Amino acid sequence: MHEARVGCVRRWYAEKRKLPMRDKSPARDILMEPWQYMQVPPPFVGHARPGVYKAMVHWWTSAEFKRRHIAGQLKRAAMIGGSHTQGSMPMTVIMQNKEKELGTTPSMFLVWKECHQKKNKDGTLSWVSENAELKDTEYRAGFAESYGEANPEIEPFDPEVAMRRGGGRKNGRLWMCDSAIDPRTVRSMREIRHDSSSSSTTIQSRPTPASRAIEKLREDFENERKEREQAQALLAQQSQMMAQQNQIMAWFTQRMAACESQLTALLPSGATLPTVGPPPFNLNAWLQASGGSNNAELGGPSSQDETMQTPPTGGNPDNPLARSLF
């Protein structure tokens, strides 16, 4: 019946204004006057029962209906995604059609899942909302606690699992598949808690996308804290290693100084330890001592002293400095 008013709005605009509405969304937001509704009665009511249709129009144009209509608009605007894809068809009717199509009784959970998924342009399926995905995840987790590795899409639907994972009934409704479950067949939360044991499915408060988002933020904060602690521990370890290396270098320096002191004490008076590397070479002094030239005469040995031709580089003729000078 909640789609009857939308149908009247679409019919009135198509017949009276010649403006057909291919989508129902604009018609849901339009509120007409009583005389407009009376011009396009639904086919299932017709003109044969005007009293029934007048009562419907009276409700559609009442202040209470407008208040609820605006409240519903605000609630739908706050929703992320849609609620389902089954339209105005009850879930019990969908299950009956599935049973005729398949020849066997389908799983209620599988039918619920199909009613809460939409087909994308690339052919893949996605959830209509985060809340629908959350319900699927929680029911599967609770079903696994109760039945192990059994597939919930094949096994019969267990309303007690939905009661436990969804925090019981909220406003008298189950968390999922409420329209297809006889409430007289579902035990109350008091009875479920009374018969619960340590091996039973966990009873928890009804989760929401907001509570899951807060929980995810807490997990991210905890992971970030652990990473920060690991980085600080690694930095402290590196600092400790650097301190140990500095201690080792200081110990070697002290040992070298001690060895040098011992060797100096063993030397005769006035003697010094030899320096590391060759002695400094004075080019000007060497040129003055050699007479300003080190060239030899053609056809014979040089008249200069051969000892002056070799710079004081340790007497090694293969020294690079000597080869560069000659």
Q: Counting runs of H as helices and runs of E as strands, what totals does the chain give? A: 13, 2
Cα Rg of the chain, angstroms: 47
State yes or no: pLDDT of 30 exceeds 70.
yes
**pLDDT given for residue 78 in this prediction:** 64
Query: Residue 67 carries which side chain, given as an amino acid letter?
Result: R
> Which is more confident, 204 or 141?
141
Q: Which of 125, 189, 191, 122 has the alpha carbon at shortest distance from 162?
A: 189
289 Cβ contact list (under 8 Å, min separation 6): 308
State yes or no: pLDDT of 308 exceeds 60.
no
State yes or no: pLDDT of 151 exceeds 80.
yes
Tell me: the pLDDT tens digits for 53-95?
889 999 999 999 999 888 887 777 666 666 777 777 888 888 8
How would residue 318 be classed by pLDDT, with cut points 50, 70 and 90?
A: low
**pLDDT given for residue 69 in this prediction:** 87
State yes or no: pLDDT of 140 exceeds 60.
yes
For range 200-205, the mean pLDDT: 77
11 Cβ contact list (under 8 Å, min separation 6): 40
**pLDDT given for residue 290 in this prediction:** 63
State yes or no: pLDDT of 97 exceeds 50.
yes
Cα 155 from Cα 161, distance rounded (Å): 13
Element (H, E) at 264: helix 209-266
Cα 129 from Cα 125, distance rounded (Å): 12
Q: Which of 165, 184, 183 has the alpha carbon at shortest distance from 175?
A: 165
Element (H, E) at 117: strand 117-119
State yes or no: pLDDT of 32 exceeds 90.
yes
Tell me: the pLDDT tens digits for 260-307?
888 777 777 776 666 656 667 777 777 777 665 555 444 444 444 444
